[in-house]
Amino acid sequence: MNLLLVIPFLVPLVGAAVTLLLRRTPRAQQAASVLVLAAVVVDAALLLAKTAGGTVATSQAGAWEAPLGITIVADALSALLVLVSSVVLLVVLLYAIGQDIGGLSRAMPQVFHPIYLVLTAGVCLSFLAGDLFNLFVGFEVMLTASYALITQAPTRARVRASMIYTVVSLTSSILFLTGVALVYGLTGTVNMADIAEKLGAAPEELRMVLALLFLVVFGIKSALVPMHFWLPDSYPVAITRISAIFAALLTKVAVYAIIRSQTLLFGRDDISAVLLWMAIATMIVGILGALVQDDINRVVAFTLVSHIGYMIFGLGLNTVAGIAGVVIYLVHHIVVQASLFLVNGLIRQYVGHTSLRAVRGLTTVSPALALFFLLPAMSLAGLPPMSGFVAKVALFKAGIEAGGWLVYLGVVAGVLTSLLTLMAIFRIWVRGFWGTPMPDMVEARAQLRSGSSRAGLRFTTAMTGVMVGVGITVAVMAGPLTDIAFTAARELLDPSAYIDAVLQKGPS
């Protein structure tokens, strides 16, 4: 049990050291990275198999008892997210390797691999952290790596975007640390299970303030309206592999932190109304932004903001069905966003840019590309039988069961957002994929076909296909996924199993 819980962050760190030493031999470096991530995927699958039934796995680092030491915890939610994240990380890594083999990217592979693995460690540690401070550490490891990654292949636009990104992230990190300090001052502990027990005795107002503080902290990081302004400015500018990972994972880690902190640490109905209002605002504002953008990458970035709203809506319902819907949505959205950004990268590779003003007739240029775009896009809009449909239906059903005028308003906003998402996608489809291709696009494509980078490009395209395939797998596995989601939701709303597992002596 100790081993399973530790591998997801320890092995990537060792891998980072190894790839740093293997700088001069790119092939060995690539092999090491792939092996590390494959190990994490296998480990996460085993962990999920252990926790899917509702057991909570814990490991006390340094054998210090729970409230004092660092606890590593995995329940169904954590294990599921580690699994999905590591699969996405692995596929994006393979995509990046394909680009490097073909010489298609100006990123520096010798720098990219170590930092990418550090990012992996940070993401996994955030999901598995059992105390608030360790969650902060996980976030920081992840963010520090992301600061370095966002400026890979630096251009003026990228440096500018990374400045915004870094300043905003650091601000929220400072607030996060302040929040941890306040919680510690109030309860005398940073262990989340322990806080959950002790915070109940704290005055109602203080609890409310802390809950809101943490909502702001993670709201900045997950780009909830009105704290979303930085995301569409920074993510789309980075190179493809980076924006795909950022869009897929970084905001979702923050959503996970919102779920964990608002269910485990703070009271039940305290801020449900706030969450619902924020969810509605996020959905509508995000999708309206997407409708007026002229660059495919930016459209997708705005839909990312918009669809975070669905998850917050489910959390605001505060019912088992609602939170189960959030879990399904998380899984679906991680995979779909990664696919869409990878496809955008392919478009940029094939024809040189992603601006809707200058792209036309992509279906003629590459039918495979059109298919790879259409499938995740349909899923994002929530058309059956894709995973987005499953997730949205779960959420709406939970909303209608929960009742109340605000919830109904949220459901209406959700349906409206779905339709507008469809509209945003059709805008891309009609303007970018239909029609006769521009002459410069045909030329770029022909040049690429005859160039030396063909093998790399083919591999990259295949990996995009694999990512789309993962998305379809999510839809096919909807049954088991729903079971796991409901287990996770029940654990979140009744955290006694979690608290018992952490505070009593672990099974080690």
Q: Give me the residues that bind other proteins (CB under 8 A), please.
A: 2-3, 6, 10, 13-14, 16-18, 20-21, 23, 59-63, 70, 72, 114, 506, 508
Other C-beta atoms closer than 10 Å to the C-beta of 343 total 29
Instruction: Pick the closer one to other proteins by CB: 125 or 132.
Output: 125
Closest approach, Cβ 11 to other proteins, in A, equals 9
- For residues 404 and 402, give the distance between their C-alpha atoms in angstroms, rounded to a whole number: 7
Structure tokens belonging to residue 350: 């094939």
Closest approach, Cβ 10 to other proteins, in A, equals 5
Which run of H or E residues covers position 254? helix 251-260
Closest approach, Cβ 493 to other proteins, in A, equals 29
> Quick check: 225 and 274 in contact, CB under 8 A?
no
- For residues 192 and 260, give the distance between their C-alpha atoms in angstroms, rounded to a whole number: 9
Instruction: Pick the closer one to other proteins by CB: 22 or 326.
Output: 22
Instruction: Pick the closer one to other proteins by CB: 106 or 505.
Output: 505
71: phi then psi, degrees, rounded to nearest 5? -105, 135
> Quick check: 198 and 188 in contact, CB under 8 A?
yes
Closest approach, Cβ 503 to other proteins, in A, equals 16
Instruction: Pick the closer one to other proteins by CB: 6 or 288.
Output: 6
| β-bridge partners, 58 | 73
The most distant pair of C-alpha atoms in the chain lies apart, rounded to whole Å, by 70
Cα 493–312–223 angle (5° rounding)?
A: 135
Q: Phi-psi category of 303—alpha, beta or left, where left has phi over 0 and alpha has psi -120 to 50? A: alpha
Closest approach, Cβ 164 to other proteins, in A, equals 22
- Which value, to the nearest 10 degrees, does the dihedral of the CA atoms of residues 320, 326, 330, 332 take? 100
Closest approach, Cβ 415 to other proteins, in A, equals 47
Which residue type, as a one-letter code, is found at position 290? A
- For residues 398 and 389, give the distance between their C-alpha atoms in angstroms, rounded to a whole number: 14
Closest approach, Cβ 5 to other proteins, in A, equals 9
Instruction: Pick the closer one to other proteins by CB: 13 or 463.
Output: 13
Closest approach, Cβ 193 to other proteins, in A, equals 17
Instruction: Pick the closer one to other proteins by CB: 65 or 500.
Output: 65
Instruction: Pick the closer one to other proteins by CB: 29 or 306.
Output: 29
- For residues 272 and 268, give the distance between their C-alpha atoms in angstroms, rounded to a whole number: 8
Instruction: Pick the closer one to other proteins by CB: 2 or 355.
Output: 2
Q: Phi-psi category of 359—alpha, beta or left, where left has phi over 0 and alpha has psi -120 to 50? A: beta
Instruction: Pick the closer one to other proteins by CB: 10 or 477.
Output: 10
Structure tokens belonging to residue 368: 């495979």
Closest approach, Cβ 72 to other proteins, in A, equals 8
Instruction: Pick the closer one to other proteins by CB: 16 or 82.
Output: 16
DSSP string, 440-483: HHHHHHHHHHHSTTHHHHHHHHHHHHHHHHHHHHHHHTHHHHHH
CA 45 to the chain's CA centroid: 18
Closest approach, Cβ 82 to other proteins, in A, equals 16
